[in-house]
Structure 1
Amino acid sequence: MSLTAPPAPRITYRAVLGSPYVARLLGGTLTGRLPNAMAPVAILLWATASGSGIAFGGLLSALYGLSSALAQPVTGRLMDRHGQSAVHLPAALLNSALLVALPASGPYGGPTLATALVIGGGLTMPPLEAGLRALWPSVLPDPRLRHAALALDTGTQGLLYIVGPLLVAALTSAYSPAVALTVTAALGLVGTTVVALAAPSRRWRRASSTSLQSPSVRRLTSPGLVLLFVSLTGIGFAIGAMNVWSIAMAEHHEQDMLSGVIPAAFSTGSLLGGLVYGRRTWTGTTANRLIAAGSVFLAGWLPLVALPGPLAATVAVAVPGAFLTVVVACAYVTTDALAPAGRTSEAYAWLILAIGVGQSAGTALAGRLAEHPLASAALPAVGAAFALTILLAARRRLGPTGQPPRGRLRGRHTTP
């Protein structure tokens, strides 16, 4: 008579959220990251309301997003060296103060001061996303719970870009863009404080000076990581191109709501995909899952080339949205496996930067091609095809196979 181990209990999101600190860290991070979605819109509305014009407002909005993306690797490295709370709290205070000061800059400093405040606000955005990903191994030692938390974390990010712009629009309509900026600053400060004062964040210690000087920690340019980050620029390119294409669709069909409905459908797909992905324990290698998800992500964009109508287009974008969460979650796991232990947060920040740079490039090129319907509709697939091509070329360099990612706690390796 053979005895077999009983199957492991099914992972539920109630179990994940019921684990110590998970709900606080996830909720605080989502609240603290709302300025990522709110500030660019609030800045644009403030600039146009103050008479600066939509062109200048668009420039300020783009500068905020670009500067916050470029600062991520620097703030990530500072976290690895000095701890999370030591970086989060000062950054949140500065970011909030600069956003609140922006409406007062118009009568005094003019465009130059406004530009400086916006860039400063972007550069001081707290690195909450990278910080949360670095905390999961210590908060959830069980790799199955950690897998579900990462999928939930990644999937719910889409909510930021649904709730954030709507909240700004409501505040601006009821009060003014200045009030919207003030609320944006307050939400960022409150959310960051909730995270930074939580015990896991306060206990996160910098890597020792000895380990930071070791050759393995100095190198953050392994071929696998570099190729992974390059591929993720294609993922970001697809997202940026889709946002502009949705505006072009709205103008072509004279339905203004499409510019918000299509990205909302994409984000909803991302949320649902994350919920489904996180509830299962997957076999095989992370690299294979990453490539499979990238393949479906590409396939999901292809129907747009047929120039579908508004309803069909809205439904179609939910498919690549659903697999975006899988791609990003697997990318984080792969980054964790390949990055040196003393530079985990910085590696996560480079991942975020890669997607952000790609998104900016996709937005810029799609804007130039917006008057050409076929080219505009094909751009998301072009970005996804680039990402998949790089992933296929990098398959053998994407880390250990068949093993769960190694965890990290306080700058050192841990075993889940």
Structure 2
Amino acid sequence: MTVTDRTPTPYSEVLGSRHVARLLLGTLVGRLPNAMAPMAIVLLITTAAHGRLAFAGALSALYVLSSALSQPLKAKLLAHYGQTRVSSPAACINAGCVLALAATGPDAQPALMTALVAVAGLCTPPLEAGLRALWPAVLATPEQRRAALALDTGAQGTLFVAGPLIAAYLASAYGPSCALIATAALGIAGSAVVLSAPPSRTWRAETPNATDAHRSPLRNAGLRPLFLALSAIGFAVGAMNVWAVTMADAHNVALLAGLIPGSFFAGSFLGGLAYGRRTWPGTVNRQLLAGAAAFTAAWLPVIVLPGPYTSTALAVFPGLFLPVVIASCYLTADTLALPGTHPATYAWLILSYGVGTSAGTAAGGLLAGHALTGAALPGLASAAAVAALASARSRLSPAAPANHGRTTPSCNPVPSER
């Protein structure tokens, strides 16, 4: 892709817009517990005298899956009741369950721990979907919204590097209960920053017409390929995490288990900055297909099973294209979603990626003993995403220009009075 002559939107302009930095930073802090909690749960259980790693892993996966699967319901509640009335109690319940888990300790009854983890996951506040629904209200132009979405997407990767590291450090220095307490505190703090902001407090979903009021995004023929493709992309990321652990075991370099994902998400952060900083030609769906193809091609070198440090360096390249795919998915979905269904559409995109990541992790674990197959899984999953998008090109809003997105905001504008 080549840059056009259109003037790109500088990040200083986006971050300097009223409320943007607060909303972005608050959402990142509020979502950091999503990356900390799975690690903190594992560390809590495995510190018991008879800590069961299998049970710890199952509870960690339960937290992630329950959080992902509850996204559509929480989005429907957002559309009906607004962000403050939904996310505030959700954040409090989530934090309360996490604190109760810390208080009961690693020797609590398995049924009680399972219930606490399940409820905590179900009640993770829908900050990500909420933030993306707010961009049209706080940013005036489509180019600003595209830059904000790219910045948001690129920064997400840092959560899944920093979160486990913070949880592991706190658990080793002060005990696993401290890691859980910090998880709850950060969730409440980040949610409070976002939900007390005027755009969040005044946001209301666009009112659907009678025909569209009860129509699920799953019934939208244009959106279904996006959900499928994003599931495949998530599968690739989940499989990559397991492949990193396999590489660490194979080369007897324990640090690789963190270095390879860290390299991948560092690439994601840089890719998000580059994508949002420039204006690219072509329609949104063409950028999506091109990004998915590049993401797939970037996985090909790892199939030759390179050495540990070469693998770490190579992981940067698919990471560069992850924000392009995710941001383009959201921009494409924004042109396809019916009035009043944007929060639900964003929720299904989040669910698709989360379920795909979990499935990729599970599949990678099952194939961990097969080095070549494990290394090929990310590329194969990414190729499936390309196939899904290519076969549905005619349904992916081919007339929507990449730099314009949706001209009608998906939510009511913020009132001028603060």
**TM-score, with structure 1 as normaliser:** 0.94
Selected match of 2:247 from 246, 249, 258: 249
State the alpha-carbon separation in 1 of the partners of residues 410 and 285 from structure 2: 26
* Residue correspondences, number: 406
In the other structure, the counterpart of 1:359 is 357
In the other structure, the counterpart of 2:147 is 148
1:64-213 alignment runs, 5 A limit: 64-106=63-105, 110-208=109-207, 211=208, 213=210
Deviation, structure 1 residue 216: 6.3
State the alpha-carbon separation in 1 of the partners of residues 107 and 314 from structure 2: 48
Deviation, structure 1 residue 325: 0.4
Selected match of 1:346 from 344, 347, 354: 344
Selected match of 1:41 from 35, 39, 42: 39
Task: Classify the secondary structure of the residue corresponding to 1:183.
Answer: helix
Deviation, structure 1 residue 412: 5.9
Selected match of 1:225 from 220, 223, 226: 223
AA matched with 1:92: A
Q: CA RMSD in A?
A: 1.7
Contact 1:65 1:122 in 2 (8 A): yes
State the alpha-carbon separation in 2 of the partners of residues 382 and 283 from structure 1: 28
Q: Which moved more, 1:9-18 or 1:240-249?
A: 9-18
Deviation, structure 1 residue 271: 0.3
In the other structure, the counterpart of 1:294 is 292
In the other structure, the counterpart of 1:406 is 406
In the other structure, the counterpart of 1:59 is 58
State the alpha-carbon separation in 2 of the partners of residues 12 and 107 from structure 1: 49
Deviation, structure 1 residue 207: 4.4
AA matched with 1:395: R
AA matched with 1:215: D
In the other structure, the counterpart of 2:304 is 306
State the alpha-carbon separation in 1 of the partners of residues 319 and 256 from structure 2: 16
Contact 2:136 2:413 in 1 (8 A): no
In the other structure, the counterpart of 1:215 is 212
Deviation, structure 1 residue 71: 0.7
State the alpha-carbon separation in 2 of the partners of residues 271 and 77 from structure 1: 30
AA matched with 1:322: L
Deviation, structure 1 residue 400: 4.4
In the other structure, the counterpart of 2:265 is 267
Task: Classify the secondary structure of the residue corresponding to 2:204.
Answer: coil
AA matched with 2:130: G
Unaligned runs of 5+ in 2: none
Change (3 A) 1:369 1:107: closer
C-alpha distance after superposition, 1:7-27 (max 9, x if no partner): 865421111111100100000
**TM-score, with structure 2 as normaliser:** 0.94
Task: Classify the secondary structure of the residue corresponding to 1:47.
Answer: helix
Matched residues, percent identical?
A: 51
Contact 1:287 1:401 in 2 (8 A): no
Unaligned runs of 5+ in 1: 1-6
Q: Which moved more, 1:383-392 or 1:279-288?
A: 279-288
In the other structure, the counterpart of 1:4 is none
C-alpha distance after superposition, 1:53-91 (max 9, x if no partner): 111111110000000000111111111111111111111
State the alpha-carbon separation in 2 of the partners of residues 249 and 74 from structure 1: 38
1:317 paired to 2:315: yes
State the alpha-carbon separation in 1 of the partners of residues 188 and 26 from structure 2: 10
AA matched with 1:362: G
Deviation, structure 1 residue 159: 0.7
Contact 2:32 2:187 in 1 (8 A): yes
Deviation, structure 1 residue 316: 1.0
Selected match of 1:18 from 16, 19, 24: 16
State the alpha-carbon separation in 1 of the partners of residues 234 and 85 from structure 2: 30
Task: Classify the secondary structure of the residue corresponding to 2:340.
Answer: helix
In the other structure, the counterpart of 1:3 is none
AA matched with 2:348: W
Deviation, structure 1 residue 401: 2.1
Moved over 6 A (4+): none
